[in-house]
Structure 1
Amino acid sequence: MTTVLLSFTPGALVLGALVGSLWTVAAVLDAPPESFVLAWFGIVLAVIDLRHHRLPDALTLPLAAVLLLLQSHRLGEALLSAALFGGAHLAVRWCEPALMGGGDVKLTFGLGAALSLPALLPAAILSSAVTLALAAFRRTRAVPHGPGLLAATWALTTL
């Protein structure tokens, strides 16, 4: 009989604790299903973006598909929200490529599907505030915007 030892890094433990915390908050508030999806994908994508300044398509595209599927009851509004939120970020990328990465733009199309039309402006403002706070905390101007986008979208869909 062999013994299997589970090895957890401190980062994996923190990641698990964060996902568990967000799931608990969403469950207590009886949040919609997209809150749970955003909790898992959001933590994983935020960690990757903070470490590598990348948002991999292998995670952002499935997230967009799942969020859109969860909005089948309001598909028209979800597609319009996705187009507006993603399109606004795409315009920023086209005008000033140094300000926003392509992964952020792809992410915003998916996140826009989970947001209602009235929540788009608050999401943009809140995500920018989170990114600025992260820059102040890290004492650098080179911070990814993905964590702010993910945090704002989770908060607006959950709370």
Structure 2
Amino acid sequence: MFKNLFKKGNSKTEMVAPVAGELISLEDVPDPVFSQKMMGDGIAIKPSDNQIVAPVDGEVVQLPETKHAVGLRTEDGIEVLVHIGLETVSLNGEGFTPNVKTGDQVAKGDPLMTCDFDYIRENASSDITPVVITNGQDTDKTFTMTEESNGKTGETVIITASEK
């Protein structure tokens, strides 16, 4: 009787803000890799907090030695990259304290990383944190970005993925 409530096509994945702050369009990020969506579509956040949390339930599939980004994959195959700041790879891990490692399973809102955004602002080109769907074109999903202007860590839905 209740099986019909969960038909394929009705499922959606809601991604929450991995950090509190001002939400900005990816097109407004001052880095062409993100603003021209070379890595994929998404949204960016001007952080007002130091804690980065998982925007989705999934597996940590990427955590570079430089600790400047975290890649996650959801159970339905959506790959999400949280890129902390711009030109932060050059910091060689300074200012980043990971709470996870590659292969870890995380739930939406679980702590991924603590960041020293004061250090990042002083030593990188920007603290703007893009959240990008890196394989959106390879999925059967449609992605909708929020129209909210501010996000709360682990609460504000910033991207919704729905069946096409």
TM-score range, shorter chain: under 0.3
The structure with more helix, counted as a fraction of residues: 1
> Normalization by structure 1: what TM-score?
0.27
Higher relative contact order (CA 8 A, sep 6+): 2
> Normalization by structure 2: what TM-score?
0.26
The structure with more strand, counted as a fraction of residues: 2
